[in-house]
Amino acid sequence: MDFELPESSRMVRDTVARFVQQELVGLEPLIIRREAERGYEDTPLIPPDVEAQLQQKARDIGLWGIDVPEEFGGQDLGMLNKCLVVEQLKHSIVPFVLPPESPNLFLLKELCKGSQVDRYLLPYSRGEKKSCLALSEPGAGSDAAAIKTRAERKNGKWVLNGTKLWISNARRSDFMIVMAVTDPSADKRSAYTAFLVDKGTPGLTIPTSFPMIGEYHPYEVVLDNVELDDDQVLGEVGGGFAPISKRLGVRRLEIASRCLGLATRCLTMMIEQANTRKTFGAPLADRQAVQWWIADSYQEIEMLRWVVYQMAWKMDNGRSDVRLDGSMVKLQGTEMIARVVDRAIQLFGGMGVSKEMPLEYISRMCRVMRIVEGPSEVHRWVIARDLLKNGLPAV
């Protein structure tokens, strides 16, 4: 086994690290202020003109289409490199994302066919269109199989009715990937179908947004007799459950990578503070409690890092047995960052909970991560259920 990152991956990692230091870290006071001042308003944390400038700078230095297939104009560098990119970007709290986002790209490149390639996949791959996944509903969050949104066949059209909830980026998306029940009598493996729904489609409304803790600001999406043609079906009718499940695994890997970056930022700050701050005539670095905070944080970060890299390596090598890996990295990553940022805040004291520093922002942001994309309790249940049924997987 070779645990060394390839030279090409180290180059990608270092390029992103320089970009973060040169372009993102200096924007953090602006992000903290905009997040504090927006209140109930749906204000983007990065001003649109600033985001456009960042995207152009990223494109200029080759940070574009990291995991987009070469035939679609990308670099096809794989999931390991995309994880490295996401990890480095989250050394800053600036919510900058290199388009396209991996989870929906993974779904579109697997399922798009015919005219969908030119209408959705290619512009999405080039960063010209944005998308979101409309899956969760008022009564179906972690239990995705409980969705009630229906798609019925009427007069040669698909007619969608239902309500989606907690949909991120809904108002900023050019199209949505909507999950709906097409055969209520079938089992969950063949009851659901994914549909591509364009912004502005008659009957599609986004009436409500939900101000939340941290940077999240999701939406309610209502589908009222939304009529779609057959070419708006993504994949096969009744075949939506398995691809969506795989897509969720990609998102969980991405979230764990974000946790790695945020935790590393916290640990770096802790080490610097411990070595420079003195109390009662001695540096904090001499205090056993502080030493243990730093030692525990480092170990937890490194243990997560290798599980994340292993999952990404599996995906790059065509392994499909990553469902447990996805639950594990999501669970461990989101709980690890909560512990690390809490230690960092404790070390910094009053300054740690002030808006002069990014720690209180990270604390609030990472609290949401233990709920979105499946709460910790559900992932523990998924892991235990599989182990109890199938035993330990082969190493």
Say whether pLDDT at 395 is over 90: no
Quick one: average pLDDT of 60-71? 92
Domain with CATH 1.10.540.10 in the chain: 7-126
Q: Which residues contact 223 (CB under 8 A, 6 or more apart)?
A: 149, 160, 161, 162, 163, 164, 178, 197, 203, 204
pTM value > 0.75: yes
- Checking if the pLDDT of 159 tops 80, the result is yes
Task: State pLDDT tens for residues 86-96.
Answer: 999 999 999 99
pLDDT of residue 145: 73
Q: Report whether pLDDT(1) > 80.
A: no
Amino acid symbol at 280:
F
Rounded average pLDDT over 22-38? 97
SS3 126: coil
**Side-chain-facing half-sphere of 32: CA atoms under 13 Å:** 19
Q: What are phi and psi of 240, to 5 degrees?
A: -85, -20
Domain 131-234: CATH superfamily, name plus number: Butyryl-CoA Dehydrogenase, subunit A, domain 2 (2.40.110.10)
- In the structure, what pLDDT confidence band is assigned to residue 378 with cuts at 50, 70 and 90? very high
**Nearest alpha-carbon partner for 130 in 166, 170, 167:** 170
CATH topology for the 242-390 domain: Butyryl-CoA Dehydrogenase, subunit A; domain 3 (1.20.140)
Mean pLDDT calculated for residue range 198-219: 94
pLDDT, average across residues 347-366: 97
Determine the pLDDT at residue 309.
97
**CATH 2.40.110.10 location in the chain:** 131-234
Q: pLDDT-derived band of residue 394, with 50, 70 and 90 as boundaries? A: confident
**pLDDT over threshold 90, residue 130:** yes
Residue 201 tokens, joined: 């489609």
Strand partners, 195: 178, 233
- How much is the pLDDT for 234? 97
Torsion of CA 229, 233, 237, 240, to 10 degrees: -150
In this predicted model, what pLDDT tens digit does every residue of 308-344 receive, in sequence order?
999 999 999 998 789 999 999 999 999 999 999 999 9
pLDDT for residue 101: 84
Indicate the angle between helix axes 241-276 and 359-369, nearest 10 degrees: 150
Which pLDDT score, from 0 to 100, does residue 229 have? 97
Instruction: Say yes or no to pLDDT of 360 above 90.
Output: yes
Q: What's the average model confidence in pLDDT over 137-159?
A: 89
| Range of lowest pLDDT (8-22, 183-197, 276-290) | 183-197
CA atoms within 13 A on the CB side of 189: 0
What's the mean pLDDT in 32-57?
95
Sequence-ordered strand ranges (E) for 11-156: 131-134, 150-154
Residue 242 scores a pLDDT above 90: no
Predicted confidence band of residue 48 (pLDDT cuts 50, 70, 90): very high
Q: Is 393 a residue whose pLDDT tops 90?
A: no
Q: Are strands 157-167 and 192-198 parallel, antiparallel or unpaired?
A: unpaired
pLDDT at site 52? 95
Provide the pLDDT confidence category of residue 45 given band limits of 50, 70 and 90. very high
**Least-confidence region, from 29-38, 46-55, 98-107, 175-184:** 98-107
Domain with CATH 1.20.140.10 in the chain: 242-390
- What pLDDT does 354 receive? 97
Q: What is the mean pLDDT of residues 259-273?
A: 98
pLDDT of residue 244: 87
The kind and range of the H/E element at 22 are none
pLDDT value for 141: 74
Q: CA 45 to CA 35: how far, in whole Å?
A: 6
CATH code given to domain 7-126: 1.10.540.10
What's the confidence (pLDDT) of residue 236?
95
Mean pLDDT, rounded, of the chain:
94
Binning pLDDT at 50, 70 and 90, where does residue 260 land?
A: very high
